[in-house]
Amino acid sequence: MSRAEMDALGWDACDVILVTGDAYIDHPSFGMALVGRLLEAQGFRVGIISQPDWQSAEAFRVLGKPTLYYGITAGNMDSMVNRYTADRKIRSDDAYTANAEPNKRPDRAVTVYAQRVREAYPGTPVVIGSIEASLRRIAHFDYWSDKVRRSVLADSKADLLIFGNAERALVDLTHRMAAGEDIKTIRDLRGTAFMVPPGWLPGADWGVHNSTRVDVPGKVDVHPNPYAMAQEDKTACATDNAGTAPEVVKPIRIMSREERLAMAKEKHDKTVVRLPSYETVVADPVMYAHASRVFHLESNPGNARAMVQAHGERDVWLNPPPLPLQMDEMDGVYDMNYARAPHPSYGKAHIPAWEMIRFSVNIMRGCFGGCTFCSITEHEGRIIQSRSEPSILREIEHIRDKTKGFTGTISDLGGPTANMYRLACKDKAIEVSCRRLSCVYPSICVNLGTDHSKLISLYRKARAIPGVKKILISSGLRYDLAVRSPEYVKELVTHHVGGLLKIAPEHTEENTLSKMMKPGIGAYDEFKEMFDRFSLEAGKKQYLIPYFIAAHPGTTDLDMLNLALWLKKNNFKLDQVQTFMPTPMAMATTMYHTRKNPLHKVTADSEVVETARSGKIRRTHKAFLRYQDPDNWPILREALVAMGRGDLIGNGDKHLIPSWTAGEGNGQAPAAGTRRAGPAAMAPSAPAARGPRANALTGSLTARASIDNKPRASILDTIKVKAKPAPAATPVRGAKGGRVAAPAPNGRAGRK
């Protein structure tokens, strides 16, 4: 991270310099460390420039000029999501910065850093990556500017973009550049994107399919009538056999099924899908929704084709997504020699993101849930990539032995989803050909393995490690999968819940859930029954912490009212709630921007998705989630009257919110019979003094007759360590490094 450290290592220059918007923490949950250590293991000298001052190019010259390239990342989070709330307000802190200091990274950090690097050393190759670049690899709707923006490649002028899990592409790229290849000629790496001249193809044997051949965005042209009488064109039958030309015999060759399939696959693999241009999707919301649908249909690395999208006089070319890492590759990535601590230059500074994951272990990557509001699948993919049991157990022992402050509790064994470890399609042939957007919606696929026995075994072995007192599960749980394995639910509830367990129904109404691709609330009820029963058997008082989203595309005022009534019926008084934030390339973001549903064929006449866009409607939807807060009563009264539901305003048990009371909103006590949320965020409150008897275990009340209680339906080739010849005068040694493509801490970029 400094010239002094380079001098101590005897380096005259770094091979690769990685620029990041995060503080540098040498831990595998932080992508910068993961990729830096990976390149170090390949024999490269890696430098880190962490949170540089972007106002000038000077901070980008601190380590000198790299011999190979600069790698640019915004960090573990998208810089806009990191810096702004769902209401576009600037956050007061930054969890990835020392002492949570805000404003240590610019907006759209990847673009700004890449521009400054170009100023610092013109002509030096620039590679961009991370979740920010990954989710902006094509034209995309940008919530913060409320417009469709170009690919980040066009804005940053980078030579190459690596998207998704970057390890394999990054290793191959770095070795090829070290061997003398020009980065502008490296065009065959999976998981990479780059700018090319219009009409460019990798070879003469490549073909182009317009995206409308993949998914028709409008009316289909009328097919010609085969029985219609038409003028015969005799010239169409003319051959070289006419006149005096010698007869040419062309025998018919019968091909086997295997040969036909092989030819079809070769043709498929050498076909690029042309998406509507940037200019087209800016002007036409229907074509934007169509492009989004095609993009997601071409996301399975087993059958995805290359894609190309015109941006003015140049094209953005996207190679197919990276192949998932195999288990031994995952082990190799996470078993490297991490210091498991922030860089010493931060001293005793408090870094909240580090504090959150310092005692947690990432056991897998990816998510096949396909939730439309979540960007994990666009980045990490739908195929689960799991570590081996021994590798995970070794990391727990490293935490016990190396991490300061360890008291015996592992805070999480998880990833994007807690209980997808080792789950996969039962048939590899089906997996590589599948084009479903989700393996669990609208129902769990019959070809998906849901056996949780390997995860149960891992839990039991982990908590048996000497020195480990408790293993908690903090990652979001996919409860519709969990109910398939009562043994897993019992194991989890009996040993791995610290009083509260996070799950995310997200909503109760089918109208909204269908736009989220989430299971019906009946699946939650089924899981809750198991959770309560096994908690009682274990003699523990434990609670579910449900998460909900307000103002999601497709949500009406009535949907939010019904959710509020469900919360009141179950006596949930939420403390922290989330308003939908449209992140780049997510399918729900497409719904938000276009009012079209890309989960189905998109046409000018297809389904219209009503979306809460105005600030007042979004505030109203959020207020329904916190109906118990006196600050929300004025806006809720106005909404209920407008909806014709003034009968829900009053001071009785049948009412949602009370009538106006003196002192309301001035910090005084609310009316009798109402109370603010308790200190436990989103936990069920204590039973009221009157009314139905509360369940002794959970504190939830039985349904009141005045509130609707209608029943709802229940629901990879291994990275080889290649030796790089070292210069005679300079020892080739490693340094702490960074990452181009990074998941969030512990792999969690969203909720399941």
The pLDDT tens digits of the residues spanning 301-352 come to 999 999 999 999 999 999 999 999 999 999 999 999 999 999 999 999 999 9
pLDDT in tens, 375-422: 898 999 999 999 999 999 999 999 999 999 999 999 999 999 999 999
Residue 264 has a pLDDT of 79
User: Are residues 13 and 65 in contact, defined by beta-carbon separation less than 8 angstroms?
Assistant: yes
Residue 425 counted as an annotated binding residue: no
Write out the two tokens for 311.
């941006």
Instruction: Residue 229: count other Cβ atoms within 10 Å of its Cβ.
Output: 6
Q: Please state the rounded mean pLDDT for residues 54-59.
A: 96
Extended strands (E) in 22-174: 25-26, 46-50, 69-73, 126-128, 140-142, 147-149, 160-162
How many Cα atoms are found within 13 Å in the side-chain-facing hemisphere of 615? 3
Residue 202 has a pLDDT of 96
Residue 430 has a pLDDT of 95
Q: Please state the rounded mean pLDDT for residues 446-458.
A: 97
Widest Cα–Cα separation across the chain: 107
How many helices (H) and strands (E) the chain has is answered by 24, 23
Name the DSSP letter for residue 596: B
Q: Please state the rounded mean pLDDT for residues 219-237.
A: 53
Task: Specify the range with the lowest mean pLDDT, choosing from 187-191, 579-583, 726-730.
Answer: 726-730
> Average model confidence (pLDDT) for the chain?
87
Architecture in CATH of 359-496? 2-Layer Sandwich (3.30)
pLDDT in tens, 655-704: 999 997 666 654 444 444 443 333 333 344 433 333 333 333 333 322 33
3-state helix, strand, coil in the chain (%, to 5): 35, 15, 55
Q: Which fold has domain 498-661?
A: Transcription Regulator spoIIAA (3.30.750)
Q: What are phi and psi of 580, to 5 degrees?
A: -55, 130
Write out the two tokens for 554.
């497709």
First to last CA, the chain: 36
Residue 680 has a pLDDT of 35
Q: Please state the rounded mean pLDDT for residues 81-93.
A: 96
SS (H, E, C) 291-307: HHHHHHHCCCCCCCCEE
- The percentage of residues in the chain with a pLDDT greater than 70, rounded to a whole number, is 83
Residue 445 counted as an annotated binding residue: no
Residue 385 has a pLDDT of 97
In order of 295, 296, 298, 438, 663, the CA distances from 435 in angstroms are 11, 9, 8, 9, 57
User: Are residues 19 and 71 in contact, defined by beta-carbon separation less than 8 angstroms?
Assistant: yes
Q: Which residues pair with 500 in a beta bridge?
A: 543
Amino acid at 53: D
Q: Please state the rounded mean pLDDT for residues 640-668.
A: 83
Write out the two tokens for 647.
């009968």
Helices (H), ranges, 403-504:
428-433, 453-463, 479-482, 486-495
Beta pairing class for 192-196 and 543-550: unpaired
Q: At what angle do helices 633-642 and 615-625 cross, to 10 degrees?
A: 110
Length of the chain: 752
pLDDT in tens, 482-538: 999 999 999 999 999 999 998 999 999 999 999 999 999 999 999 999 999 999 999
Q: Decide if pLDDT at 716 tops 90.
A: no
Residue 704 has a pLDDT of 31
Extended strands (E) in 538-585: 543-550, 578-579
Q: Enumerate the CATH 3.30.750.200 domain ranges in the chain, comma separated.
A: 498-661
Burial 153-179 (b: 16+ CB within 10 A, else e): bbbbebbbbbbbbbbbbbbbbbbbbbe
Q: Please state the rounded mean pLDDT for residues 714-733.
A: 38
Residue 730 has a pLDDT of 35
Per-residue confidence band for 705, with pLDDT thresholds at 50, 70 and 90? very low
Q: What are phi and psi of 663, to 5 degrees?
A: 80, 0
d(CA 57, CA 121): 9
Q: Which fold has domain 3-193?
A: Rossmann fold (3.40.50)
Q: Which residues pair with 250 in a beta bridge?
A: none
Instruction: Residue 369: count other Cβ atoms within 10 Å of its Cβ.
Output: 29
Which position has the higher pLDDT, 716 or 429?
A: 429
Q: Enumerate the CATH 3.30.750.210 domain ranges in the chain, comma separated.
A: 359-496
User: Are residues 592 and 141 in contact, defined by beta-carbon separation less than 8 angstroms?
Assistant: yes
Residue 229 has a pLDDT of 56
Residue 77 has a pLDDT of 96
pLDDT in tens, 113-169: 999 999 999 999 999 999 999 999 999 999 999 999 999 999 999 999 999 999 999
Instruction: Residue 572: count other Cβ atoms within 10 Å of its Cβ.
Output: 24
Residue 371 counted as an annotated binding residue: yes
Instruction: Residue 530: count other Cβ atoms within 10 Å of its Cβ.
Output: 19
Residue 257 has a pLDDT of 74
Which position has the higher pLDDT, 636 or 241?
A: 636
Residue by residue, DSSP assigns 104-143 as -S-TTHHHHHHHHHHHHSTT--EEE-HHHHHTTSSSEEET
pLDDT in tens, 462-471: 999 999 999 9
Chain centroid, CA 450 distance in Å: 22
Which position has the higher pLDDT, 666 or 609?
A: 609
Write out the two tokens for 624.
């329904």
Residue 697's nearest CA partner among 555, 540, 546 is: 540
Preceding amide of 322 cis, omega within 30: no
Helix (H, G, I), strand (E, B) or coil at 220: coil
d(CA 236, CA 247): 18
Q: Decide if pLDDT at 252 tops 80.
A: no
Q: Enumerate the CATH 3.40.50 domain ranges in the chain, comma separated.
A: 3-193
d(CA 721, CA 42): 6
Q: 487: buried, middle or exposed (CB in 10 Å: 19+, 13-18, 0-12)? A: exposed
Helix (H, G, I), strand (E, B) or coil at 550: strand
